[in-house]
Amino acid sequence: MDNQFLYGLGSRVELLGALAMWLVIFLRLPTARHSRQQQMLLIAVMGVAGSITVYLDPVTAALNRTFTFAQSCGLFMNEWGVLGSALILDFVLAAVSRRRPWLIYGSMIVTMATLLVLNFTTAPHAGCVTSISVPWYSPFWWILIAAHLVGTIPCVVLCVRYARQAKGDRSLRVGLLLFAAGFTSSSVFWSVVLAFLLYRPAWLGALFPLNIGVTAWLMTAGAALPLVLRVHQMARNIIALWRLRLLWSELTEAVPHVTLNRPRPVIREVLGSPHSIYLRLYRRVIEIRDALLILQDYVTPETVDVARRHVTAQALPEKQIEPTITACWLEIARQAKAKGASPQPNPLASKHPSGHGLRSETDFLLDVVRARKLPSLRLFALSQTVPHATVPGRYDHKSSAPTKE
């Protein structure tokens, strides 16, 4: 693997990583409007994205053709990098409630001005500072490298610190570790720059684009994680809506007054924004639950005891026992109501625990849907007579809606 191939590979990784970063930033903008922390984080990511973008060969060429200032052998990129580091450091201090914008951005202006002066005074014969014309011990290099490391290293420490504290939230922990890896990769880049200035190996210079590309992809992954989780949750809600459709249809046909809106076409049910799909699922769970509360008055406690013995004899997983019992007595209740049986108040307390959210309620109902397909459930329904009384169940008369998570 020669240096030219390594440089070309790194350039492609760098270009795709920069494009992915800007795409994720664009997609994250609407969700960051209502959160100051999210805004600060996104601004910090923008600073990194801008620093990476100006190092892309097509962008560098366009800048050199357009701006006289940019022709100073990468001065524009270096100045932008200092700005990006200031944005990152501002985010770090804001996260620990010690924000000092005047100190940060005042130091940034002084640093940028110093680099500008050094660029035109350190190597006047060369026209600007380059790794060829100016040795490693020049203040220009040390100020430039220090400016970047002062921004990235604290961010690594902060992300790792909070990731260790977020043990109960796996997605948050993964996102913070991805950001920590991205800022670490950025810090490594400037360490590689220093090593290149000291020893000048050609293969090390060929690694620059690849290192920047890895940084871009790590930062993209960290910033995109909330979007991925949001899409995943939306997909789960759509699947749940689809799988609950038949159960909802049968129950609301038996108890039509629990429905709030008229039924929609199937395709329209699963189309819409994440929030609208969530609300439809929430409404559907409420309507199924209300129907169960009514139908449980059409079976007797004795029927439920028989159902419990029937289900426990099948050696099902513990998680599936209560949903299967519910599926058993539900069939009997539907038959009883269809035959005009009179409901009787349920004298037994409900076993439904309080504090459950939409996800747990949805999972329970999906388990009921799966249980209704068991052959043993059909045999149980055929073996029972139509009851006229109540049944204890998972659902509570006192609450007709699952709590939001």
Report CA 63 to chain centroid distance, whole Å.
35
Digit-coded pLDDT (tens) for 246-270: 888 888 888 888 777 666 666 777 7
Digit-coded pLDDT (tens) for 158-174: 888 888 887 777 888 88
Mean pLDDT, range 101-129, rounded to an integer? 77
Whole-angstrom Cα distance, residue 15 to residue 19?
6
With pLDDT > 90 as the criterion, what percentage of the chain qualifies? 9
Orientation of helix 101-121 relative to helix 139-165, angle to 10°: 150
Distances in whole angstroms, Cα of residue 238 to Cα of each of 234, 244, 402: 6, 10, 18
Whole-number pLDDT of residue 353: 41
User: Which of 66, 72, 65 has the alpha carbon at shortest distance from 115?
Assistant: 72
For residues 363 and 288, the answer to whether their CB atoms sit within 8 Å is: no
Distances in whole angstroms, Cα of residue 130 to Cα of each of 56, 70, 294: 18, 14, 80
Whole-number pLDDT of residue 20: 93
Between 33-42, 136-145, 262-271, the lowest mean confidence (pLDDT) is in 262-271
Q: Is 261 exposed, middle or buried (0-12, 13-18, 19+ CB in 10 A)?
A: exposed
Q: What share of the chain is helix, strand, coil (3-state, %, to 5)?
A: 75, 0, 25
Of the pLDDT bands very low, low, confident and very high (cuts 50, 70, 90), residue 350 is: very low
Digit-coded pLDDT (tens) for 274-326: 888 888 899 989 888 888 888 888 877 777 777 787 777 777 777 888 888 88
Report CA 42 to chain centroid distance, whole Å.
14
Mean pLDDT, range 146-157, rounded to an integer? 86
Whole-number pLDDT of residue 297: 82
**pLDDT of residue 35 exceeding 90:** no
Tokens of 35: 């959160």
Digit-coded pLDDT (tens) for 183-238: 899 889 888 888 888 887 888 888 888 999 999 999 999 889 888 888 889 899 99
Q: How many Cβ atoms are within 10 Å of 310's Cβ, its own excluded? A: 18
Q: Which residue has the tokens 């922390």?
A: 37
Whole-number pLDDT of residue 337: 81
DSSP string, 246-265: HHHHHHHHHSGGG-SSPPPP
What's the mean pLDDT when you consider all of the chain? 78
Q: Fill in the DSSP letter of residue 391.
A: -
For residues 38 and 227, the answer to whether their CB atoms sit within 8 Å is: no
Of the pLDDT bands very low, low, confident and very high (cuts 50, 70, 90), residue 181 is: very high
Mean pLDDT, range 47-68, rounded to an integer? 74
Higher pLDDT, residue 131 or 110? 110
Angle at the Cα of 369 from the Cα atoms of 320 and 393, rounded to 5 degrees: 60
Q: How many Cβ atoms are within 10 Å of 305's Cβ, its own excluded? A: 13
Judge if pTM exceeds 0.85.
no
Q: How many helices (H) and strands (E) does the chain have?
A: 15, 0
Whole-number pLDDT of residue 396: 43
Whole-angstrom Cα distance, residue 366 to residue 247?
9
Q: How many CA atoms lie within 13 A of 219 on its CB side?
A: 37
For residues 342 and 297, the answer to whether their CB atoms sit within 8 Å is: no
